[in-house]
A and B are shown apart, each in its own frame.
Chain A
Amino acid sequence: MKKTHNIFVFCTILLLIIPQFSFTPIVKSVKGQLQINFKHVVENELLKLDSAYYKNELGQSFKISKFKYYLGEIHLKSVQGKDYYSKSYFLVNEDEESSKQITLNQIPNGNYISISFILGVDSIDNCSGAKSGALDPLNAMFWAWNTGYIFLKLEGNSPVSKSPGGMFEYHIGGYKQPSNCIRKIELDLTKNPIIINNKVSFLELKTNLSEILKSPNTIDFSILSSVTDSKNADLIANNYKDMFSVLSVKNENQ
């Protein structure tokens, strides 16, 4: 008897509580949106695949035919201390305009003073089997014989390259030491914070691909025209970690 009585009381309390839980948050959960746009450039020029010629630090001319990379684990740091984090991965591909815009939803209201993300794919996701969406092996950013994602692909031609057809190709990946090419990128926004207030904000980032060829390691097309496994991969990874910068922040509510 006592037991059934207890259960009855418990259920009544539950019934009273549940609606409050499920109704109140809905009002509060109208959250903001952030659209991140990537502008791909080679120094000061807008990237144009296959047609435009550019020059590297050594004065060697080159053109680009492919430029793709993975981003994930986006983290927005707020002054109020309530951060936003999303583990999702995005494949940004110069050849696919829509992939250069990333939309994050359900961002809590707040002033965000920095954004960080990884270029690459976290080690767990490199080891845990067949994936779909951005991480589908069909996206041709996957090594099958030595399992792992290719974090960044940069391909093109340079007259000085000694590979057939003057090709160069840098396929950079690897999640294990000694050749771990995952790089964390953190960009400061204190001067121009993202202010989320139930509305949309826009962040424009610049991806300067000439950084991949420049510093700290100068890439000479006539010496290093192909990186497709762990050998030399971290030379390039140490370069690409500096390729992003903030162009602008626009907050709709301002």
Chain B
Amino acid sequence: MKINKLYISLTLIGINITFLSFKEDPNKKITLKDITFTNPKGFPKPNYNFDNNKLSVEKFILGKTLFYDNILSKDNSVNCGTCHQQFAAFAHIDHKLSHGIYAKIGTRNVPALQNLIWKDSYMWDGGVNNLEVQPINPIINPIEMDETIENVLIKLKKDSTYVSLFKKAYKDTIINSQRLLKSLAQFTGLLISVNSRYDKYMNKKDTFSISEKNGLKLFKTKCANCHTEPLFTDNSYRNNGIKIDTLLNDSGRGKITGIEKDNQTFKVPSLRNIEITYPYMHDGRYKTLLQVLNHYSDTTNFEKNEDTSLHKIGHLTLVEKTDIIAFLKTLTDRAFLYDKRFSDPFVRYN
């Protein structure tokens, strides 16, 4: 009996130890299969392919570790995941404008990070032309991470964990900006959301309710012109009629091109995972999807210079709004939101 008890507690301790060590290093479970890219059915060819940034487990893990590490910010208080939360499709849930270092408030709403490799430019104004160089912006922005790339590299070179992660990824001891940025792009580039109920429905693996079906139909005629399937954006810049916020005075695309007619146009955002990326619009002005639909449904709301394809929407009845919202909620991809490959490796559960 005694021996039996001892045996059982020893086994329990053993199980506990294996369990704990698993939790300590979630990266161990990432295999080549997890980071192999195959173009999802029905999707166009991506704009960013990994041809010049060959995917590997080690580079992906390095990129993911960097993404979640405060080391990228000046006072070690902020990481990319602070603003880009996985459970919110890497947007910042319930934050109108971004919150950065020293509790500073930014000027734009944090967008979801998903299906980035199909975009042809990044940020609400499309100012960034390649996924690899995007992270320079938050790192050097005084109200986001307030660091310099030089200093990040100095810190990484002093950190034995990173010395070893870089060595595993690149087979030598060089730590430079190119490797930092390319590994981050392996992580952000693989944030792909294609397993929503909508996707299953399109692949005949799920069914829609009557309301959802009706919502999809309405969506196709009224919204898909800009929020084009399957990415739910056509990558263009448009003015969707929202009035300019005179405090922020964000001229959007115009600031990048210097062309008058581009003022107050913004990159059409994808609507995947829209249910959980509230609040909405580049400045987070709407808290709910109903508010968004109230906006589209009432032409008297519109800013002058609104995109003419908005006129196709017309007045929406409450039932129509409810149906469209029911459909939009089918775009939530739980598998993506809780995908272990993308989760914060620094989180300790006990």
Binding site for B on A (CB under 8 A): 126-132, 136-138, 142, 144-148, 179, 229-231
Task: Write 13 A-B pairs (CB below 8 A) sorted by A numbering.
Answer: A128-B52, A130-B178, A130-B181, A132-B178, A138-B153, A138-B177, A144-B128, A144-B133, A145-B128, A146-B128, A179-B258, A230-B257, A230-B258
B residues 163-177 touching A (CB-CB < 8 Å)? 176-177
A129-B256 contact given A137-B133, A137-B136, CB 8 Å threshold: no
Cα A146 to Cα B123 in complex, Å, equals: 10
Complex-state Cα separation, A138 to B257, whole angstroms: 25
- A127 and B177 within 8 A (CB): no
Q: In the complex, what's the smallest C-beta–C-beta distance from B156 to chain A, in angstroms? A: 13
Total cross-chain contacts (CB, 8 A)? 64
Name the CB-closest residue of B to A229.
B258
CA–CA, A147 to B137, complex, Å? 10
Give the interface SS of chain B, mostly helix, strand, loop or mixed: helix
Q: Is the CB of B182 within 8 A of A130?
A: yes
Chain B residues bordering chain A, tally (CB within 8 A): 27
Cβ of A144 and Cβ of B136 under 8 Å apart? yes
Q: Tell me the bound Cα distance from A145 to B108 in angstroms.
A: 14
Among A126, A145, A230, A231, max chain B CB count under 10 A is at: A145
B128-169: CB near A (< 8 Å → 1, else 0) gives: 111111001100100000000110010000000000000000
Within 8 A of A (CB), among B71-101: none
- B282 CB to nearest chain A CB (Å): 15
Q: A-B pairs with the 4 shortest C-beta distances?
A: A129-B132, A130-B181, A144-B136, A130-B132
Nearest chain B residue, comparing its CB with the CB of A139? B177
Q: Does B40 contact A (CB under 8 A)?
A: no
B149 x A138 contact (CB < 8 A) = yes
For the complex, give the distance between the alpha carbons of A230 and B180 in Å: 29
Alpha-carbon gap, A51 to B35, bound state (A): 56
Q: Does B293 reach chain A (CB closer than 8 Å)?
A: no
> Roughly how many angstroms separate A138 CA and B149 CA in the complex, as a whole number?
7
In the complex the two chains form, what is the Cα distance from A129 to B177 in whole Å?
11
Whether, in the assembled complex, B185 has its beta carbon less than 8 Å from a beta carbon of chain A, the answer is yes
A140 CB to nearest chain B CB (Å): 9
Closest approach, in angstroms, between the C-beta of B54 and any C-beta of chain A? 13
Assess whether B46 is interfacial by the CB under 8 Å rule. no
Please give me the residue from chain A that is nearest to B132 by CB atom. A129
The answer, yes or no, to whether B11 is at the interface (CB within 8 Å) is no
Query: Most chain-B Cβ atoms within 10 A of its Cβ — which of A126, A138, A148?
Result: A138
B53 within 8 A of A: yes
**0/1 interface trace, chain B 296-320, chain A, CB 8 Å (1 if under):** 0000000000000000000000000
Q: Could you list 15 further interchain pairs (A-B, Cβ under 8 angstroms) beyond the known A132-B176, A132-B178, A142-B136?
A: A127-B129, A130-B133, A130-B177, A130-B180, A130-B182, A131-B178, A137-B149, A137-B177, A138-B150, A144-B133, A145-B128, A145-B137, A147-B129, A147-B130, A147-B133
B6-22, CB < 8 A from A:
none
Instruction: Check A126/B129 contact, CB under 8 A, given A136-B178, A137-B136, A145-B137.
Output: yes
Q: How far is the CA of A128 from the CA of B185 in the complex (A)?
A: 13
Q: Output the nearest chain B residue to A231 by Cβ-Cβ distance.
A: B258
Give B9 Cβ to nearest chain A Cβ, in Å: 53
B237 nearest CB across to chain A (Å): 14
B:255-306 near A, CB below 8 Å: 255-258
What is the bound-complex CA distance between A168 and B173, given in angstroms? 41
A113 CB to nearest B CB, Å: 37
By beta carbon, the residue of chain A nearest B181 is A130
* B128 in contact with A147 (CB, 8 Å): yes
By the criterion CB–CB under 8 Å, are B258 and A129 in contact?
no
- Smallest CB separation, B139 vs chain A (Å): 9
